[in-house]
Structure 1
Amino acid sequence: MARFQVPEGWTAQAYRFALDPTPSQVRAIRSHCGGARFAHNYMLGLIKAVIDQRAAERSYGVPDNELTPVLGWSLAALRKTWNTRKGTVAPWWTDNSKEAYNSGLDGLARGLDAWFASRKGVRAGAKVGFPRFKPKHRAVHSVRFTTGAIRVNLDRHHVTLPVLGTIHTHESTRKLARRKLARRIEAGTARILSATVKYDGQRWYCAFAVIVEGKHRGDRARRSPHPVVGVDVGVKDLLVVAAADGTEIERVPAPKPLTAAQARLRVLQRKAARQQGRWDTATESRQDPSKRWLRTQARIAKTHARVANIRRHELHTATTRLAHNHDVIVVEDLNVTGMSRRGGAYKRGLNRAIGDAALGRIRILLGYKTTWNQTRLVTADRWFPSTQTCSRCQAKTKLALRDRVYHCRNGCPPIDRDINAAINLARLGETTERGGVSGTGTGSSPAASVSAGDGCGAIRKT
């Protein structure tokens, strides 16, 4: 099946609204999420049984042409198998939309494809394990709709979804600048592709995947006098923005919402440990939890949801401001997974801080926001020595993580290490704008592409 292509002149975007469903609508939404989880678990068990059966037959010496037939795990094959069995295994399937079961099967198909590609060495990155069953009380409550009645109502305060009907929203779908979905749909400059309903532990949300026509930065939008900037990300200061001439433009401190919520989480988790949970440690078996334990878990989930909302707000605010004000933004390609993979108890605090800052999310947000605003995002190579290179004389000096001030080995005046790195990144962006001809000494011809940045000939040495 051909993959959907965004038309020329259109941009993909998402709009998310907080829902205010009635108790009956909450039960219907949970039923849809449960149907998606059931379809996922049932088909996963069926595929796993076939794989185990074929492995057992091979161990008995059965020829390959006489083995149990393979069960296809593409989305089309899973849907075909599910449709032939749903009347027997799920006689209640008519209570929900068919999109609920398709949502669970789609997630299973993607997981199996990722596992198979990783097993064959085709997929880059860390190895992907075989898909797991989704437990009822730990799985994310989510369901996606791609067909049917999906629309934003004309009264600006309701959305309509298949089978679920019309649901009230907490906020208007038109008034705020970031909520102009209703006006765009009326004007014919936006088209809804899908809608995803999800529970984040605090409330229900509906996210619309939309393609928008002609999204661009306004002519009267505020622009900075520094068109090319470098952005250094970190744990202490989330963003340090500087220009190539050494001017510090902005410094955004890390919000650290998880650190601020640690005291409350510690109290709630200790309280939950004293109550009767779902697992009995004495008999090592599942049990019915107490109502107080369920209430405590709900409070823990709300605390984590608040932490995620604060982090998301700070990231979106900072990245939107960068994409609006500057023409070229240069960031590093950080290996965040590798930075927080090992270390054990010695790196527990640093790993938590890296996850709390969400360093890997910044480049993703800037990636599509620069596209919306007709600006450029230059990604420096992972081995570009922005921190170790002096921004004055281009000499290299090794720095430990605890060193917050850069002391050049040639005797240049001390400078903040984050500002020094941001200046080097900004000069790399100027190199890109000049077509690869560096006038600053910190770039080279490989840095002339948007995804380059070998800079001063950095090599992959520890």
Structure 2
Amino acid sequence: MARFEIPRGWTAQAYTFAVDPTPAQVRAFRSHAGGARTAHNTMLAVVKAVLDQRAAERSYGLAEEELTPSLNWSLAGLRKEWNARKGEVAPWWAENSKEAYSTGLDSLARGLDAWSKSRAGERAGKTVGFPRFTTARSRRSVRFTTGTIRVEPDRHHVTLPRIGRIKTHESTRKLARRVEAGTARILSATESEDSSGRWHVAFQVLVRRAVEPPAHVGVAAPIVGVDVGVKADSLLVVATPGRA
């Protein structure tokens, strides 16, 4: 899978806020999380069926080129297969943002990729098992990468696609100030529910790094300001040195 490259001079940072959704928004959150679970489980069942079919065909002596075609396990490949089936397995799919289903499919694509590489010895660390089906008791979570994603100017609301404007339990001023100043850019937002039933929204943000002094200047070297407009025959006056 393609990796996102952080631009030079920027760093990735997360900002998480507890939210106080309305009952209607809680129902929407849960519907989106249910959509993610349905997409994940539906396509996992399809992947397992194809793998089992190919294994059975090999046991019958069929050549590789005669086997049932394998599936594309990338996010794009799984999304294509899901779109062909969603009308039948999830006739209510249009009630949620497409990002709900992408969340479930992305999770499955990553799981299959990790399992495949682990099985082939191409992945360091512990052996990764085959992806599992998720249940209604699984942690509810949905990630948004497109659509209207923002912190509102009043510092007490955020907006997500299809969910709308949501009240935050705390001020968002730290992130809002950076966004307004142009030193932060929101990449995505993830809504999730913790074990106590509290909902949170976590923003993945690109933040511009503070300007660093040149490498040849010591960390504790004194720094002064100089008026570059003084004449050559004038006395040079500087402020009391500070520390970097």
Give the structure-2-normalised TM-score: 0.84
* Counterpart position of 2:166: 167
CA separation in 2, counterparts of 1:129 and 1:143? Answer: 23
Which digits, 9 at most, give the CA deviation of each residue in 1:293-343, with x for residues without a partner? xxxxxxxxxxxxxxxxxxxxxxxxxxxxxxxxxxxxxxxxxxxxxxxxxxx
CA separation in 2, counterparts of 1:215 and 1:88? Answer: 52
**Superposition pairs for residues 230-249 of structure 1, below 5 Å?**
none
Tell me the CA shift for residue 136 of structure 1: 1.3
CA separation in 2, counterparts of 1:15 and 1:216? Answer: 22
Give the helix-richer structure, 1 or 2: 1
Tell me the CA shift for residue 46 of structure 1: 0.2
Moved over 6 A (4+): none
Secondary structure (helix, strand or coil) at the match of 2:189 reads: strand
CA separation in 1, counterparts of 2:45 and 2:209? Answer: 46
Tell me the CA shift for residue 61 of structure 1: 1.3
Tell me the CA shift for residue 80 of structure 1: 0.9
CA separation in 1, counterparts of 2:166 and 2:114? Answer: 35
Among 181, 185, 206, the alignment partner of 1:187 is 181
Secondary structure (helix, strand or coil) at the match of 1:83 reads: helix
* Counterpart position of 2:100: 100
**Superposition pairs for residues 148-297 of structure 1, below 5 Å?**
148-174=147-173, 180-202=174-196, 203-215=198-210
1:122–1:2 distance in 2 versus 1, CA, 3 Å: closer
**Superposition pairs for residues 261-410 of structure 1, below 5 Å?**
none
CA separation in 1, counterparts of 2:9 and 2:25? Answer: 38
In the alignment, residue 91 of structure 2 is paired with which amino acid? P
* Counterpart position of 2:234: none
Greater Cα offset, 146-155 or 54-63? 54-63
CA separation in 2, counterparts of 1:63 and 1:119? Answer: 23
Tell me the CA shift for residue 215 of structure 1: 3.8
* Counterpart position of 1:112: 112
CA separation in 2, counterparts of 1:168 and 1:94? Answer: 25
Q: Which runs of 5+ in 2 are unaligned?
A: 213-219, 221-244
CA separation in 2, counterparts of 1:128 and 1:43? Answer: 19
1:59–1:2 distance in 2 versus 1, CA, 3 Å: closer
Tell me the CA shift for residue 8 of structure 1: 1.2
Q: Does 1:147 align with 2:142?
A: no
In the alignment, residue 184 of structure 1 is paired with which amino acid? R
Q: How many residues align?
A: 212
CA separation in 2, counterparts of 1:71 and 1:158? Answer: 42
Give the structure-1-normalised TM-score: 0.45
For the 8 Å contact 1:11–1:215, the answer to whether it is kept is: no
Secondary structure (helix, strand or coil) at the match of 1:32 reads: helix
Which digits, 9 at most, give the CA deviation of each residue in 1:386-420, with x for residues without a partner? xxxxxxxxxxxxxxxxxxxxxxxxxxxxxxxxxxx
Secondary structure (helix, strand or coil) at the match of 1:109 reads: helix
**Superposition pairs for residues 380-459 of structure 1, below 5 Å?**
none
Secondary structure (helix, strand or coil) at the match of 2:204 reads: strand
CA separation in 1, counterparts of 2:210 and 2:35? Answer: 37
* Counterpart position of 2:60: 60
In the alignment, residue 48 of structure 1 is paired with which amino acid? K
* Counterpart position of 2:229: none
* Counterpart position of 1:308: none
**Structure number with higher relative contact order (C-alpha < 8 Å, ≥ 6 residues apart):** 2
Aligned residues: CA RMSD: 1.4
Secondary structure (helix, strand or coil) at the match of 2:180 reads: helix
1:93–1:210 distance in 2 versus 1, CA, 3 Å: same
Secondary structure (helix, strand or coil) at the match of 1:17 reads: strand
Secondary structure (helix, strand or coil) at the match of 1:78 reads: helix
CA separation in 1, counterparts of 2:208 and 2:2? Answer: 22
Tell me the CA shift for residue 3 of structure 1: 2.7
% identical equivalent positions: 69
CA separation in 1, counterparts of 2:124 and 2:142? Answer: 28
Secondary structure (helix, strand or coil) at the match of 1:196 reads: strand
Q: Which runs of 5+ in 1 are unaligned?
A: 175-179, 218-224, 226-462
